Structure 1
Amino acid sequence: MNISSSASSTAAAAQDSRAFRTLARIGYVVLGILHILIGVIAISIAIGGGGGEADQGGALAQIQQAPAGVLLLWVIVLGLLALAIWQIAEAVVERDPDSTKKWGHRAKFLGTAAAYLAIGATALIYALGGQSQSSESSQSFSARLLAVPAGVVLLVVVGLGVVAVGVAFIVRGITRAFAKSLALPAGAARSGIVAFGIAGYIAKGIAVGVAGVLFVIAAVTHDPEKAGGLDAALRSLAGLPFGVIILWAVGAGLALYGVFCFARARYARM
């Protein structure tokens, strides 16, 4: 048996495990909790209430301070780890006969796994009693990149890549492509879940896309402090014309994406 066959067999075995599928579904639940908290923080910022950082770090900080928060953080770590492994397994067993599509799907699965691992690593930091400042991390990353030869070009590429991810979220929401991976019930329940998914994907795409634009601005202005994560992106929306309304709508959309994640935990094809 070659290495590829062995990896495929291992991935398939993981996907067939009931316990592993349960952990992966828990991962979707914790993603829902995080997005609802981020949405609530964003709405709080829109109405002038502060509320902390409107990103995964801010949401995890609130969980850390809650009763039994540390226990929940460990559940989040395990759930996101299971989701990441699930996505990696999907990449390994991908068998689309079209080789271009196959590698495109694999890239998507691996990129999603990397995102889950990054959030899980942040949750682990909080579970161990630490804290994380995503905006400062983004600025430090931008400063290091700008310091290397062709750093401006590299940072622009990073920013455009993040913008592309945001656009992909928006397109996925508008086209309802996310529904293909769900075994949805018929009737009003299906319509409601799809509506939450559309609103959530579009809102998340806007937030991620703005974060990418901030990286590009940091590159063009040679100012790493212009860069920022999700929190900085959401706060920058407040400075636009009708920004408070836009930020409120995006925050509500992120909260709806969290509700959609709960439905995804129940109806995801696994």
Structure 2
Amino acid sequence: MSTRASVADVRGRPAFQRGARLGYAANGVLNLAIGWLALQVAWGAGSEEASATGALRTLAGTPVGGFLLWVLLVGFALLGLWQLTTALLGGRTGERLKAAGKGVVYLALAVAAYGVVDQGGSGSSGSGGSSEAGWTADLMAQPLGRLLVAAVGAGVIAVGAYHVHKGWTRTFLRDLREHPGPWVVRAGRLGYVARGVAFGVVGGLFVAAAATADPDRAQGLDGALQTLRDAPFGQWLLTIVALGFVAYGVYSFVRARVGRV
């Protein structure tokens, strides 16, 4: 049996498909937690950073935190592998690259979940902003480093724009086997647009870091949400974005049930 046939065989197994659905549900839990942390950032409550790692640490602090993190870890890992099989099985180049990128992201989330479990729920002690600034400084030190940082920022902005377009035009419905009902459509639209706005701000911060040669301006999701909060009417704008993350979490639960796998 060829490698391609072997991958197709594994991908078609019900257990593997159920694992991918578990991953979508895990993504729903993660986005609910990020939305909750973003609300706290908006209104000056809480001390945990509004990021994937911060959300995982928050979940670790719940009564079922240890068990929940292992479930998320398995779900993210299986969904990541499922996306990689999508990339391996062919199709249009753009679709394959998109699937490969998603696979890497979900596997990175699985690694992050393991990191929080391994450190007893505390995760990394460093802030997300200092982490981004650190590797941005390293990248800027390379030949054409500022251009590379700007390219990273432009790529993240493009991802954000894609999310906004996907939400606004409802094209995310193509990912589902059946129409989920009007309330889920509204949740999906708000979720995709809100995440797109957040990603766009992240990308903008990297472009600003490249333009000013200041790596400290490069921030992750938590820094982007704080930037939104500090804008005019920022508390209300960030509140809408936070509710968007919650809405995306709800949509992800529905996708876990009726999504195409």
Q: TM-score, normalised by structure 2?
A: 0.95
CA contact (8 A) 2:77 2:107 kept: yes
* Partner of residue 247 from structure 1, selected from 229, 238, 253: 238
- Alignment-derived partner of residue 29 in structure 2: 33
CA contact (8 A) 1:138 1:229 kept: yes
CA contact (8 A) 1:45 1:235 kept: yes
1 CA distance for matches of 2:197 and 2:47? 20
1 CA distance for matches of 2:47 and 2:251? 23
Q: How many residues get paired?
A: 257
> Map of 1:156-175 to 2, 5 A cutoff?
156-175=150-169
* Partner of residue 65 from structure 1, selected from 61, 64, 73: 61
Question: Residue by residue, what CA displacement relative to the aligned partner does 1:188-207 show, whole Å, maximum 9, x if unpaired?
Answer: x5211111111000000000
CA contact (8 A) 1:11 1:90 kept: no
Question: Residue by residue, what CA displacement relative to the aligned partner does 1:121-177 show, whole Å, maximum 9, x if unpaired?
Answer: 111100111513432221111110111111111100011011111111111111111
Question: Residue by residue, what CA displacement relative to the aligned partner does 1:64-90 show, whole Å, maximum 9, x if unpaired?
Answer: 222231221111111111101111111
CA contact (8 A) 2:163 2:193 kept: yes
**RMSD, aligned CA:** 1.3
Output the amino acid matched with 1:268.
Answer: G
1 CA distance for matches of 2:133 and 2:10? 38
1 CA distance for matches of 2:110 and 2:216? 26
- Alignment-derived partner of residue 98 in structure 1: none
**1:266 and 2:260 are equivalent in the alignment:** no
> Map of 1:1-270 to 2, 5 A cutoff?
6-95=2-91, 102-129=92-119, 131-132=123-124, 133-185=127-179, 189-270=180-261
1 CA distance for matches of 2:183 and 2:214? 44
Output the amino acid matched with 1:227.
Answer: A
2 CA distance for matches of 1:232 and 1:43? 14
CA contact (8 A) 1:7 1:92 kept: no
Gapped regions of structure 1 (runs ≥ 5): 96-101
2 CA distance for matches of 1:172 and 1:14? 29
Structure 1 residue 7, shift from structure 2 partner:
2.8
Identity %: 39
Structure 1 residue 51, shift from structure 2 partner:
4.4
Q: Find the residue that maps to 1:26 and give its secondary structure.
A: helix
- Alignment-derived partner of residue 99 in structure 1: none
Question: Residue by residue, what CA displacement relative to the aligned partner does 1:31-76 show, whole Å, maximum 9, x if unpaired?
Answer: 1011011111111111221341111011001112222312211111
CA contact (8 A) 2:81 2:107 kept: no
2 CA distance for matches of 1:14 and 1:134? 36
